[in-house]
Structure 1
Amino acid sequence: MTKQEKAHAIHRILEDLYPTVPIPLDHTDPYTLLVAVLLSAQCTDVRVNQVTPQLWALAQRPEEMMAQSEEDIRAIIRPCGLSPRKSKAIKELSRILTEDYGGEVPQDWAALEALPGVGHKTAAVVMSQAFGVPAFPVDTHIHRLAYRWGLSSGKNVASTERDLKRLFPEESWNKLHLQIIFFGREYCPARGHRMRDCPICGTYGRKALLKAERE
């Protein structure tokens, strides 16, 4: 089986299991999604969704958020971790959006990636989920599964993103990255995973990993 054939088979499994996928982070517009994705770095989506209602009660628009102190923002987002860095980034990106973009999140890769606290993965989530632009956000979980399934070399998230974009049709990217995330949580966790019992790994997993598990 070629890698392309394997990708096609895996895609069919994910479509059967997750014909529809919700966006995991609660939000109301591109700005609240941007902030929620920033908060999700090294934090679970569940925890972010627990914290953001209080943050939106404080400020829900860039012009409102920039007027808040870093201390007040930090006090709310502390459960998400890295709160000093994240609170500074949220306040500063809110100022930039207000002063340079009329309070709106730009639908532009370079402009997004230039914002404080916003890297390529965060920009990709916003572009795909807020604006519907084809993107394939690759976090550590997708990176791990792509390697486990033999779809990528696993050297880094950038190379994994390139590999997955080559293997899957562009029109599937925005939904597919969410399908992989949901599958990883339900069937293919990082620890305590038995590959031979997994709906994907058991048939399409990397042979060396399956062999090591049997031994």
Structure 2
Amino acid sequence: MQTLISSPSTNQATSLDFYKRLNFYTLSEYPAIISDGKFLIEINTDKYARTGIKIINKSWENEINYLSERYPSFPIKDGYLIRDNNGVWIYLIESKELEITFNTHQSRSYLGNFMGISVETTSFEHSISFWNTLGFVQVSGAAEQGWIVLANSDGFAVSLMLPLSCPHTFTNPSMTFFNNGKNLENISKIRQSNIPIKEEITAFNPQGIADNIIIQDPGGYNIFVFND
């Protein structure tokens, strides 16, 4: 199993330039796959593409038979497109060539430590059932705490939280990066790269410094760059 962020793009060069300025590197151009050394992003130039994730597996037959009775699914080339109860699109691709090979190392991007995607859910019960079917299991958090993190065998995480939990600009899904209190250095590099800041967050800093920010890629994917 292999999991990728899938970011739509009306202009591949623009999207690649955005991530190149954030110190990602290109693994392939057709299809456009980039990495920071820890995870993969597909730049999807299909005019029907939407923000979501792509999961590659040998077969999704059993999972799609179960889920399609509960959620709308659509056949696509080499697999299926399905939407969870919160509007997150998942591209389920069937392929025997599971691995997109890349040299894994400490994140080199200016975004920092990738923690997966964040999703606002209307129901922990429905969301957990949905993602469990796709091979995700709970690794931290609890419903009583208002957040739950699920991860699959590829190490890709989905963080679930209830509505009205996040008082910032948010889209379902949003990429999340946590930098353990060292975020100002990352933010400085992002600014120097001339990446537009969508939202500067000062609420957590006693000096009123923007030590958490939100940016957005050309495909509309929100990117949270937070201390923790």
Q: What is the TM-score normalised by the length of structure 2?
A: 0.20
Higher fraction of strand: 2
Structure of larger gyration radius: 1
Higher fraction of helix: 1
